[in-house]
Amino acid sequence: MDITLLQNTHRELNIDWVEHIASTQSAVKNNGLLIAENQPAGVGRRGNHWLTVPGKSICFSLRLNLTSSVAGLSGYALIIGVAVIETLLFFDTHTQARLKWPNDLYVNDKKFGGILINLTPKTSNTTDVTIGIGINWTLSDEQLASINQPVTNIPLSIKPKRAIFINQLVAQIKNNNQRFLADTLSSILPIWQQYDYLIGRHIMIKQNEQMLHGKYCGINPCGQLQAIIDNQLKTFSAAEVSIRNHV
């Protein structure tokens, strides 16, 4: 991958591209962007494995220092999901992509990407943020079928070069960071709501070892999931639960 465009656009970042690395999340430099073709030890949320195919996937980690406490970054993963949607809209104004709380990217009931966020406090008001993004770009039907869940490629009929897409996405992430630090999720939530994959669905929520059944009711201003369970509106943070399946 030619990263010249990225280096020229994002001069403040330490940008690297590698053929092979165990995990970009653990290797990315401070204030850096690390792109990998092959990542055998790549993981998603809760340790789930993420397949990368050289030349047919997008896999990178972006590490930034934000002026906020960890507590002040509640719901932060949502702005990264919105950044992916906004990048897709840049290339296709009629994208059918959707966001599944808290960090999955879907189209037509199939996953095409995921987001992993690691937050490390540095001081009382600064946090080291590492954003990992994996996207299926041009996997073959055979490669997609080898994955043990319904998956597909990114919904772009005309795909730019991967470096061009990453360049636009990193710019959008930086823009969304500024919006988030200025007014938390208030300017981001309307976009999330427009592309919310779970709207109108009955869902199953795994909390510890308990499975809860309820109707999804959107995201609150703190980025928490809301659901009606046993006729009561309840809220859940991403750290507490996972969405196991839905109907």
Which of helix, strand or coil describes residue 170? helix
High-pLDDT (> 70) share of the chain, %: 94
Taking a C-beta distance cutoff of 8 angstroms, is the pair 50, 114 a contact? yes
Q: How far apart are the C-alpha atoms of 33 and 152, rounded to whole Å? A: 25
pLDDT for the residue numbered 205:
95
Rounded mean pLDDT of 137-141? Answer: 97
In this prediction, residues 44-61 reach a mean pLDDT of 77
Quickly list H helices, 1-56.
4-9, 24-27
How much is the pLDDT for 47? 52
The CATH superfamily assigned to 4-194 is Bira Bifunctional Protein; Domain 2 (3.30.930.10)
Average pLDDT, the chain: 94
Which pLDDT does position 244 carry in this prediction? Answer: 72
Tell how far CA 229 is from the center of its chain: 27
What is the mean pLDDT of the segment spanning 116-125? 96
Q: Mean pLDDT across the stretch 222-237? A: 96
**DSSP three-state, residue 30:** coil
Range(s) of the chain covered by CATH 3.30.930.10:
4-194
Tokens standing for 173? 């992430």
Domain 202-246: assigned CATH number: 2.30.30
Q: What is the pLDDT of residues 69-88, one digit of tens each?
A: 999 999 999 999 999 999 99
Q: CATH 2.30.30: which residues of the chain?
A: 202-246
Cα distance between residue 132 and residue 111, in whole Å: 16
